[in-house]
Chain A
């Protein structure tokens, strides 16, 4: 018997129809309700669950009470095991996090959750990469790559995974500033990675490394970077799953979402701040190894603010080494790489065309704009 955890964020998606771009924050939610917003996520959760009904005999659903999953499960024809307690009609992000933590402790095979970017961040905060999860898209804006392309496909993919027919990959959880988003600016940064079931075509935009050939490309990139390492250079390794294989191949500890430094193949700094980086750079030549954010293309200024204009100037443009798989470049759909360091002069210096290492002795020449 497989166990499926189900979490519905009942307020996700309410802002969309009334053009409020998300429901983070109590006030906005109240405003959405006043404007006549109705919940989107319950309907979408049911749509996904209906694809799983045929597995009912071999599948137990574990969920939270009422609108957080129980009702949706029953409406889809399941008899779920209900855990936890909530205040009906007043659910919060903490409810989502608690539900995910409890499901993790129960050892469920997969957590299926309906929500948006905020829900994905709550799930990430609660369980990290300790259990496989999958999102049913129900939020207003979805920048995270942990969601299926539509609710029906979420159900299909969950079924495939529970039957052992889908692989697992890491997918980005993005943090979007909703206040800025309402003003028409998208400022996203990488928040973390969740483990999701993966079959191409079922999930949103290919972002983090996934297919075996892309994994092989990442290994080849790491090998090329390491083979090219010179003893008198300090190597500043930026965040992300693309740079991680370099550290793994060197057998070094790394900070997935932070900046580490390597000298003569030894770790000389971990999860460094701007100040620590500047200190390390004193009297030293250095290279920055950086990768763009998948699906967005930011090289500097999102999720790696430690690599400040000062640090970039110190290192010099010629010593910035951009790495990315062709899959990642393709996910940008022709949009150039972006830099937003907060210093126009540095942004200008970085603009133009850059060589991107995409494999061993393989490069792409790609445009960068400020």
Chain B
């Protein structure tokens, strides 16, 4: 039976396999692939293949991968895939800030063609002119979109792009002998990785809180800048979906104090072809090609945080950059001021290719239309969500938002005792995502929705119908929501473990040590 079209609620039930960790499936001696014995004459000619490796580089103990047959491995990963809610499986508007738009499959075809997959990064430049051309032209597109002067595709994601940006800011001040500039200013509603990347790069971090209307507090910025200011690293529109109308004043204040300004455009979906980093006064920016430019996120990669700078800062970019002399594309390693490499080779080439294909298929007008539809979709959703009992959109009352909104279920929590994390688990029962917010929560009982341009009105209505149903349930049967999920893979998870390094185990070895005590 299909879904109930009147209520738009699906009777969803996710596959649940209780699948063990792959190491727990291991059987001594089991193999997925039997490597043929080396023939005698080969061994005579090249030896055993190990003794030529210098002693100091050889492992002391053999590696310990899990030992499984091919069908076991296949089943394992297929089961795991059934226990996820991928972007192609659900109406993925609940992952606000992630820009979960549809990634056209034709672009995937291109990226998977042998012309790309069989390339090797150490091939001679003469043999890879095609892909270098694509990288160069993608750079030109992003120059046009941002107004800045040169891009690098080396960073493997937004966080790494921001780390590279912080490194460039540091190198810039060092070259000018202003080493006392050790403070980066950001805002609480900027993506938190701005603060994190700056801290990893060795900066002190100063965070500004919003004013009463939810805009970044310009008076606080004035109080924060000094001769120690190295730069400003912010997002705009912020995670609230509010665009800072005084952004040019912000960059002016920081420039006056001697700092540089970096624009986190990880998510530029609401402003493509409408506003640019250059006119807002920024010196650096980055775009996540796996967000705005439609390459899939790929469960944490491979991705690209395309990093752009002004002409003045181009010499600090990670090397190599792709250059064109009118005849030939080449990789430029001759960059003595470069901050160095932040990743091997030139970045995730298939991601650049998909983004290039996406831009080519849309053209300049198409990109602007993307932003316009994304903003329209978001404001349609905003109106619908505000009509849901217990839900609100704090700050900037009566104003439109850009591409996303950070909502609040504070009223719902107060009236029913059902909080946003309860709603989140209940939403999974209907087969859709729902994301709260970064921690610690600034907006109480938050949830963040971003519809992008990809979803139709019918699909947005379906998402809203589920959300409305769960909110109503909170009023009529709060325990039902609190005890959710019923149709999902796992039940409640103890979040405290995520905060506790002594309980993290991101490898099998760490798991044995921390959890099993071995």
Contacts and interface: CB of A to CB of B under 8 A. Distances in A.
B206 interface: yes
Of the listed residues A212, A216, A367, the one surrounded by the most CB atoms of chain B closer than 10 A to its CB is: A212
Interface residues of A, number: 31
Interface string A355-370: 1001001111111000
A327 interface: yes
A314 interface: no
Interface in A207-245: 211-214, 216
Interface in A316-370: 325-327, 329-330, 333-334, 352-353, 355, 358, 361-367
A149 interface: yes
Given A201-B419, A201-B422, A352-B223, A362 B413 contact: no
Contacts of A211: 440, 496, 499
A330 B441 contact: yes
Contact of B207 (A153, A216, A364): A364
Given A212-B499, A363-B205, A330 B442 contact: yes
A214 B417 contact: no
A365 B208 contact: yes
A212 B220 contact: no
B195 A214 contact: no
A325 B499 CA distance: 15
A21 B206 CA distance: 41
B44 interface: no
B199 interface: yes
Nearest to A148: B417
Contacts of B478: 152
B210 interface: yes
A350 to B, nearest CB: 14
Interface string B395-422: 0000000000000000001100101011
B312 interface: no
Contacts of A366: 209, 220
Contact of A358 (B207, B221, B419, B439): B207
Contacts of B510: none
Contact of A212 (B221, B440, B496): B496
B199 A365 contact: no
A330 B421 contact: no
Contacts of A201: 413, 417, 419, 421-422
Given A153-B417, A201-B413, A362-B207, A214 B224 contact: no
B206 A355 contact: yes
Contacts of B422: 201
B255 to A, nearest CB: 19
Contact of A362 (B204, B219, B221, B439): B204
B212 interface: yes
Contact of B224 (A326, A333, A365): A365
Contacts of A330: 440-442
A365 B207 contact: yes
Contacts of A153: 417
B118 interface: no
A136 to B, nearest CB: 13
B365 interface: no
A295 to B, nearest CB: 12
B334 interface: no
Nearest to A211: B499
A334 B499 contact: no
A98 to B, nearest CB: 32
A361 B199 contact: yes
A212 B500 contact: yes
Contacts of B220: 353, 365-367
B260 to A, nearest CB: 19
A85 interface: no
Nearest to B482: A156
A150 interface: yes
A169 to B, nearest CB: 11
A141 B64 CA distance: 61
Contacts of A152: 417, 478
Interface in A265-313: none
A326 B224 CA distance: 17
A363 B204 contact: yes
Given A149-B414, A365-B220, A365-B224, A213 B207 contact: no
A6 B234 CA distance: 51
A161 to B, nearest CB: 14
Contact of B417 (A150, A327, A358, A362): A150
Interface in B217-243: 217, 219-221, 223-224
A83 interface: no
A348 to B, nearest CB: 16
A334 B199 contact: no
A366 B500 CA distance: 29
A327 B217 CA distance: 19
Contact of A327 (B223, B413, B421, B440): B440
A33 B210 CA distance: 46
Given A201-B413, A334-B212, A353-B219, A363 B206 contact: yes
Of the listed residues A153, A327, A329, A334, the one surrounded by the most CB atoms of chain B closer than 10 A to its CB is: A334
Contacts of A82: none
A50 B448 CA distance: 35
Contacts of A200: 419, 421, 495
A106 interface: no
Contacts of B199: 361-362
A167 interface: yes
Question: Top 8 closest A-B pairs, CB basis?
Answer: A353-B223, A212-B499, A201-B419, A361-B204, A213-B499, A327-B440, A365-B220, A365-B224
Interface of B: 188, 195, 199, 203-210, 212, 217, 219-221, 223-224, 413-414, 417, 419, 421-422, 439-442, 444, 478, 482, 495-496, 499-500
Given A334-B209, A334-B212, A367-B220, 14 more contacts: A152-B417, A200-B495, A201-B421, A214-B440, A216-B499, A330-B441, A355-B224, A362-B195, A362-B205, A362-B207, A364-B188, A364-B206, A365-B207, A365-B209
8 contacts: A149-B414, A152-B478, A201-B419, A353-B223, A362-B204, A363-B205, A363-B207, A365-B220
